[in-house]
Structure formats: structure tokens, C-alpha cells
Structure 1
Amino acid sequence: MSDCLFCRFVAREIEPAVVAETDLSLAFKDINPQAPTHVLVVPKRHVPNAGALAAYPEELADVIDLARTVAEQEGLDSGYRLVFNTGADAGQTVFHVHCHLLGGRQLSWPPG
């Protein structure tokens, strides 16, 4: 989708700060980090939200696996959080599903 920011990242029309990539997913640094490690992991296929991603189990598994790989690369041995915001009320601002990988500090609960 030409109007989707993350599709433009995947197409490299805009170059994000890529930290890892597979054939199906792309991981890049968040421009507004909320933790010392804050990476977004997106499927390369345009899917609007996490609920819709369930229809693509291979891509869903790849997003989670790439997040795990990045967490290992970042040394997040003591823990990390994966967050999918789905819909405007949950804080989703780019409607291309993305997983937030957060770590590098003690994360409080409940969030938000």
C-alpha cells in the first residue's frame, strides 16, 4: 500500500534503522523509544492489525520469532515484553500490524 508508512519501510522507499530481517518480516528501531530497547517487528505483507494477522500463521510465527532473535541479540536475558496495539483506542497509529519489542529496564504492570 503506497500510503502505508511501514509498507514504504519494507519497500525501502524510506529507510528505517533496520536491526534484523527475514524473508517475511522486518525489525527496526522505534523512532520514539519507550525503553532502552524498543524495536518494531512487522510482517512484510500488509496486514492492518493483530487480529487480521491470525489469518497468516506463517507470518505471525515469523514476527514472534524475529522478535525473539532481536531480544537475544540485544542481550535481553532478564526479560522483555511484546506488545500488539490493535485499533485506535489501544494506541495503534500505523495500521500495518506491528509488534513492539520492549526491554532493557524493569517494565511496570499494568501498562497504560
Structure 2
Amino acid sequence: MIGLSHIFGNDLLLEAGALQTVSGTELTRQALLRRLLTVAGDYIWQLDYGVGLPLMVGQVIAPEAMESVIRVQVQADAGVDSSQAVNVQVEDRGNGVCRCDISYVDAGSGQQQQLSFSY
């Protein structure tokens, strides 16, 4: 599958005079980041879509609860092999910053993938 390249919070990009596209593991990676940063209820066609990590900024960090909700949403994504385990680790880095490391199996390639970010 091919989709528009779009990193959450950034503009769409042009490539050779057309909108840039992505496919495969990068498409899944971008979709997962979008899912994790979208606030549940904001996507009107699927109200349970999204984790809403931006709403957690400034809140008391509860790694186990965050890991659980992230794991459920990652497994629900079509680009992730839901028959394989999804591993999520949230680490409190202090000063309200969390590090999130996610390991999943890409449904298209069957390969183990990593997604890491801080928020």
C-alpha cells in the first residue's frame, strides 16, 4: 500500500512536483506515530482511535498504564502483525519527559521493527 508521507505535526512534503508518498515499513511507522499522538475522539470516523499522548504531558507519569494503552492501539493498527507480541517500554526521564520504545512485527514484511520517541 502507498500513502502520503506525513509526519504528525509537520507539513506534507513535495517530491519532484508531487506530494511525497511512502509505503511499507515507513508507512506503518508514520501511521503508528499518528495513532499515538491523536487524541481519542478527535478522529470523527473512529472515535476510539488514538492514545492522546500529548494530553499526558505535564501529568503524573504512570508507565504501566501508558504502556498498556499504547500496546492496545499498536496492535489495532493494520500495519502491525497482531498475532505477534508488541513490546512497549515507557521510561520517566525526569522533568516531565518520557521515552517510549515500541517493538512490533510489521504485517507486510514480517520483520521486527522499532519505534522510539520522547514526549
TM-score range, shorter chain: 0.3 to 0.5
**TM-score between both structures, scaled by the size of structure 1:** 0.38
Q: Give the structure with the higher percent strand.
A: 2
**TM-score between both structures, scaled by the size of structure 2:** 0.36
Rg: which structure is higher? 2
